[in-house]
Amino acid sequence: MVSDPSTPDPRTLLPTGPPIRLLDVDGTYTEDPDWPIDLDDEQLLGLYRAMVIARQVDTQAITLQRQGQLGVYASLRGQEGAQIGSAFALAPQDWVFPSYRELGVAVVRGVDPADLLRVYRGTWHGTHDPTKHHFGLISIPIATQALHAAGFAMGARLDDADCCVVSYMGDGATSEGDAHEAFNFAAVFAAPCVFFIQNNQYAISVPLTRQTAAASIAHKAVGYGMPGYVCDGNDVLASYAVTRRALEHARAGDGPVLIEAITYRMEAHTTSDDPTRYRDDDELEHWRARDPISRYEAFLRDRGLLDDDVAETVSKAARAEAQAVRSAIYDEPHGDPLELFDHVASEPTQQLAAQRSLLAAELAGERS
């Protein structure tokens, strides 16, 4: 039997060995010639600044939700390394199609965090301009953004544009049909697309073991004919290096890549969730010791790029950013809850009409 030379050897597509890691848990850096870091000192500090800002704004967002200023919020705490590192690898002309948790990526792309949070407030004044930042609107439905990314990447290829697309999603999204269709389409047509999976261990309350029986999510990539990588998502340098390699692959016309970043969501799935019902304190402590910011801070201090004064300057700037977000959001008008039923169907169904009447009665009772 003669193999088709156009068909890649599946063994070259499989992830190999343990997750790609450049920083140990204590921040010790191990150079790997296969995954070089080409960032100068200022760029290395930029990674740190972005992670600290993202965490401060994230903490503020949770506070705003608890004070009734946001309807709900999905925290990224613990996933800063995966998001900031991968986003740093993007070229300005590249595009991002996020889910609802990509605050860190938005910070790197220059999106005003307040514009993202207005979506959670339900006002008419959200959200950002996608064309300005090459950062698509956040996607609440699971995995639909993967289809948008694959289609956009295909358009870029047809236009012969120097543009790659990164689709961000969680591990649970890979169980959705939309993700399968996006993976398959992008691979068949060699679309310049990178699927960046943040495996934060839970799809709301469902653990990874109930999401897939595959050896890893990255192993699934071979089934679509694209390379799969597994990296330590709490290692911002590994996240950067692997994403850069994937973007080079896609930009060269060699088709999509799937990256699985192993990380952990330290907060609830959303502020409506109660994670104490499905995970214990020992698990949290295990991951707290692998915090992406503290291990990277140790790396910077070891290199002489960070001391207490610089750390305080960064922290102060991040607190100011979070306060600016708070000022932009607090006491902004809420939308009318009844607008939930407008602009959706030209002829509302009986069920929608009944639900609208029920909500109107409840609101009238609250206001009387």
Give me the active site residues, please.
265, 269, 278
Q: SS3 of 209, please?
A: helix
* CA–CA distance, 251 with 253 (Å, rounded to integer): 5
Find the angle CA(297)-CA(301)-CA(303) to the nearest 5 degrees.
120
First to last CA, the chain: 80
Q: 111 exposed, middle or buried (CB, 10 Å; 0-12, 13-18, 19+)?
A: buried
How much of the chain is in helix, strand and coil states, percent to nearest 5?
A: 50, 10, 40
Beta strand ranges found along 28-164 (DSSP E): 95-97
Contact 259, 82 (CB under 8 A): no
Rg (CA), the chain: 21
